[in-house]
Amino acid sequence: MMYHLRYRLMDLARTSRRAILPCIIALAALYFGLYAVFGPKGFQILHEREAELALANAELDILKDEQEGLERRVRLLNGRAVDRDLLEEEARRTLNMAHPDEVIVLMQPHSPTDGGNSDRGVRPAR
């Protein structure tokens, strides 16, 4: 009986020695695979950065359009031939004046807490 147990233990040791290297290789591959996906420069972070970049590019496009509009207004106000309509609009806005035949509608500024109902005259539910 003792011989049989000793033979099985030696067989188990021999088999486990053969399995050590493949186990180490499998664990290393698993580690590097997880690191490639979830690491600081992994695929998950890459997708998050691409989404941030797309958002920043959209904001940049909006700001470029706004800049072009402001540059166009400056060009119209600068130089020898000033656009009369633009000059009148700026003067009226700056001086807070209007023509006698104009109707002025005062609106409350939109605040993010009222749910966007301020411009429709609807009060938010309390």
Distance (Å, rounded) from C-alpha 85 to C-alpha 88?
A: 5
Query: Would you say residue 25 has pLDDT above 80?
Result: yes
Please compute the mean of the pLDDT values over residues 12-34 and round it to a whole number: 87
DSSP secondary structure string, 69-116?
HHHHHHHHHSSSS--HHHHHHHHHHHHT---TT------PPP-GGGTT
Q: Which residues contact 124 (CB under 8 A, 6 or more apart)?
A: 113, 114, 115, 117
Distance (Å, rounded) from C-alpha 24 to C-alpha 30?
A: 10
Predicted confidence at residue 113, as pLDDT, reads 66
Model's pTM, two decimal places?
A: 0.46
Predicted confidence at residue 31, as pLDDT, reads 94
Q: Note the residue count of the chain.
A: 126
* Residue 36 CA: distances (Å) to CA of 24, 28, 42, 51, 84: 18, 12, 5, 19, 63
Distance (Å, rounded) from C-alpha 32 to C-alpha 39?
A: 9
Query: Would you say residue 17 has pLDDT above 50?
Result: yes
Convert the pLDDT of each residue in 74-125 to its tens digit: 887 776 777 777 778 878 888 878 878 878 777 888 776 655 554 455 555 5
Q: How confident is the model at residue 126 (pLDDT cuts 50, 70, 90)?
A: very low
Mean per-residue pLDDT over the chain, rounded: 81
Distance (Å, rounded) from C-alpha 124 to C-alpha 118?
A: 8
